[in-house]
Amino acid sequence: MKASEIKALADQELLEKLKQARTELFNLRFRLATGNLDNPNAIRAVKKDIARLHTELRAREIEASRSQAS
């Protein structure tokens, strides 16, 4: 998922995507442990998506606090 796609999402959609990504990461780790994972690099991609989602959520929190403080 690209950063531009993430920025276009609403707050509730971001939280839903984050929940889905965490579930996917759990499933990928489980499949890795059982030996059924074909592409171990998928774990890295999902972790990066989670980081992008957290970054955008935090940026929105900071922006909201700045607008309230002004």
Q: Where are the domains of the chain?
A: 3-69
d(CA 21, CA 14): 10
- CA neighbor of 14 nearest in space, from 50, 65, 38: 50
Structure tokens at 33: 């442990």
Instruction: To the nearest 10°, report the CA torsion of 22, 32, 49, 14.
Output: -20
pTM: 0.91
Q: Kindly report, residue by residue over 30-40, the tens digit of the pLDDT.
A: 999 999 999 99
Instruction: Identify the CATH class of 3-69.
Output: mainly alpha
Of the chain, the percentage scoring pLDDT greater than 90 comes to: 91
14 neighbors 53 (Cβ within 8 angstroms): yes
